Amino acid sequence: MSQQDKNTTKKKLTGTALFYSLIAKAKELDAIVLGRGDPDFDTPSNIVEAANRAMKTKDLRSSPVEGLFELRQAISDRVSKINNIDVDPNDGVVVTNGGQEAIMLMVLATTSAGDEMIVPEPNYSTYLDALAFAGGAKVGVPTVMENDFAVDPTLVEQAVSDRSTSVLLVSPNNPTASVIPTDTMETLVDIAAKNDLVVLADEIYDQFIYDGGVHCSPQSLASGKDRTLTLNAFSKAYAMTGWRLGWITGPAHLINKVKLLKASVSGPANVVSQYAGIEALTGPPDALEDMKARYHRRRKVVLDAFDSMGISYGMPQGGQFIFGDVSHLGVDSVELAAKILDEAHVLVYPGGAFAPDSKYYVRVTFLQPEAKLKEGLERMSKVLSKMSK
Ligand SMILES: Cc1ncc(COP(=O)(O)O)c(C=O)c1O
């Protein structure tokens, strides 16, 4: 491939492909990573020890496709306690290879070619990749910074057509960090029920809610119970990204489709990880509580830095990142992220990779120890202040 071809290919990268190319470059430069969404903490030692014990003492040869019963029971107990979701571990839970596989399974199991999914934007780009594989079409519903990226039910209702089959509700949202309040969630789920839509709920950040906010699960609502598939995973709350473990809960008629698909896509999730997952959900909560407290402090560090850099943002109500408006710099965020990476060796994610309308936004995660986070933000600030001169 000629250099010119390589440059052209590079320019065209979008969504997940763009993120991966930035991650590769950041690795080459040994950059401070404030882009990628993986927790910097080690997996808590009680979870690692449970995996070690399982390797020595458990039968690791097989598992049901939907996951070990003991883990499905622990998931059912967890979602009952934390999310108010009532689900039967026998036919209402599928254990997955992380959140990524859960996204693909949920979308493929509920979307046929020509179907439309209503997607509040900006949103996590894998949903659009999954939708493209299914031959479905996205009907985007914009959310705006001035309104803290709140999802507007009126716009969702207006987006419904004869071809609509599902609505995606990611709360807390990635990358905007907005949280859907209970009354809005009720209205959204009622709209879904009225139009016979499946609700795809992503609750991977449900442990990270700030400023006294409340997380509401659509599957916990009467009109959402029989039409919602809910995704969650161990990667964020238990610092277990590499263990590849997540889950989907839902009514039996939808879970059966997910299970059938999973049997042919990958079979059951890794059995050692499943035993680690049981410990994560049933063991002491101390590590999670400690991580939550640290994320609260780090969020404040990024908000202060954004204020001093003159970057506006919608108040991040949940998640592990902040989505800021850099339009005053007059540079597309893909170009800006490349500049910050080249000059300051700091990786931030360009908003345009999440949605075309977000090309003047950047997403900064707080998944680095406080000192490193501060250093990354200072370096970024120097690049930005040179640009504003
Ligand atoms: C909203 C959302 N859903 C799902 C995932 C996938 O999670 P996992 O790392 O468990 O594959 C992510 C990852 O960042 C995410 O942000």
pLDDT in tens, 308-352: 999 999 999 999 999 999 999 999 999 999 999 999 999 999 998
Cα(365) to ligand 1 centroid in Å equals 13
Distance, CA of 189 to CA of 195 (rounded, Å): 10
Q: What pLDDT, on a 0 to 100 scale, did the predictor assign at position 336?
A: 94
Cβ of residue 100 lying under 6 Å from some atom of ligand 1: yes
Query: Is residue 6 pLDDT above 80, yes or no?
Result: no
- Which pLDDT tens digit goes with each residue over 127-180? 999 999 999 999 999 999 999 999 999 999 999 999 999 999 999 999 999 999
269 lines ligand 1 (CB under 6 A): no
CA of 98, closest atom in ligand 1: 10
Give residue 99 CA to ligand 1 midpoint distance, Å: 5
Tell me the CA–centroid distance for residue 100 and ligand 1, in Å.
6
pLDDT at 2: 52
Region 64-92: mean pLDDT is 98
Where among 282, 304, 322 does a domain terminate? 282
> In the prediction, which pLDDT does 10 show?
46
Count of CB atoms situated within 10 Å of the CB of 388: 10
pLDDT at 198: 98
Q: What is the pTM of this model?
A: 0.94
> The CATH number of the domain where 243 resides is what?
3.40.640.10
Q: Residue 82 forms beta bridges with which residues?
A: none
The verdict on whether omega for the bond into residue 181 sits within 30 degrees of 0, i.e. cis, is no
- Mark whether 308 and 264 lie in a shared domain: no
Confidence (pLDDT) at 370: 96
Domain match, 264 and 327 both: no
Same domain, 80 and 97: yes
What is the per-residue pLDDT for 18?
A: 86
Q: Do both 22 and 111 map to the same domain?
A: no
Q: Are residues 76 and 136 in the same domain?
A: yes
| pLDDT digit string, tens, across residues 45-72 | 999 999 999 999 999 998 999 999 999 9
Ligand 1 atom showing the smallest separation from residue 233 Cα: 10
- 228 and 132, same structural domain? yes
Q: Average pLDDT of 26-32? A: 95
Print the domain residue range for 213. 45-282
Tell me which residue of 340, 298, 362 sits closest to 41, measured CA to CA: 298
| Extended beta strands in the chain, E state | 32-33, 93-96, 116-121, 137-142, 164-170, 198-202, 228-233, 246-249, 312-313, 321-325, 346-347, 349-350, 361-365
**Whether residue 301 sits in one domain with residue 353:** yes
- Nearest atom in ligand 1 to the alpha carbon of residue 244 is 10
Substitution candidate for ligand 1 out of 33, 107, 125, 126 with most atoms within 8 A of CB:
126
- Overall domain count for the chain: 2
